[in-house]
Amino acid sequence: MCEGPAVPSSPWPVRSGDLLLRDPVEADVEALLSFRNDPLVNHFMVRAHVDPDDLRRELVAVADSPTAFSCVVERDGAVVAIGFLDVVDGPGQPGVPDGTDGLIGYVVDPRYAGRGIATATARALLGAAFEGLGLRRVTAAANADNHASVAVLEKAGMRRERLSRQSLWHHELGWLDEVGYALLAEEWAARGR
């Protein structure tokens, strides 16, 4: 009987300064919901509301997923953010290798905004993708008007690759532009983190 590909082990826990990035557990749901469905947090989010039961199922499923490597970010024992790292297939013709690319994202509790948590989380996600999972390319996207998130991606060392005009629908603002960022493993290595 053939077995499927091995599930990569979690790249967590990782320390970044005074932050601990670790695997999520069901007990984190309430702390995450305390900010994840905040209207200020969701202003530029495509998924503007998360059902508590859906979040619980998604967090619990991370432990057994071969492609989802989300993490919870703690500072002094308090949950201050969540980071998302999904392994995906790169585009290409038939025969393209599986699971070579990653997508990252993050949501920070607004009570902790402006303290470098998002940038540290993005850098740790990149480190986990390249060093922990051996990926070749990582991408991230942001609403072009979300200047704080754009700054985070640039401070984390990603380079802007695209501007997609009027590609995202916003219920208050209409069609908005999206920017795409990327980084290759060799670029990450050359920067010395």
CATH number at residue 85: 3.40.630.30
* CB-count exposure of residue 147 (10 Å: 0-12, 13-18, 19+): exposed
Q: Per the domain annotation, does 160 fall within a domain?
A: no
Q: Per the domain annotation, does 21 fall within a domain?
A: yes
Q: Per the domain annotation, does 5 fall within a domain?
A: no
For the segment 81-133, what is each residue's pLDDT rounded down to a tens digit? 999 999 999 888 999 999 999 999 999 999 999 999 999 999 999 999 999 99
- 160-181 average pLDDT score: 92
Q: Per the domain annotation, does 173 fall within a domain?
A: no
What's the domain count of the chain? Answer: 1
Q: Per the domain annotation, does 188 fall within a domain?
A: no
Spatial distance between the Cα atoms of 161 and 37, rounded to a whole number of angstroms: 30
Spatial distance between the Cα atoms of 23 and 132, rounded to a whole number of angstroms: 14
* 169 three-state secondary structure: strand
| pLDDT level of residue 193 (50, 70, 90 thresholds) | low
Q: Per the domain annotation, does 153 fall within a domain?
A: no
Q: What is the pLDDT of residue 171?
A: 82
Q: Per the domain annotation, does 45 fall within a domain?
A: yes
Q: What is the pLDDT of residue 4?
A: 41
Tell me the whole-structure pTM to 2 decimals: 0.92
Q: Per the domain annotation, does 94 fall within a domain?
A: yes
Q: What is the pLDDT of residue 70?
A: 95
For the segment 12-71, what is each residue's pLDDT rounded down to a tens digit? 999 999 999 999 999 999 999 999 988 888 887 878 788 889 999 999 899 999 999 999
Range of the domain at 61: 14-140
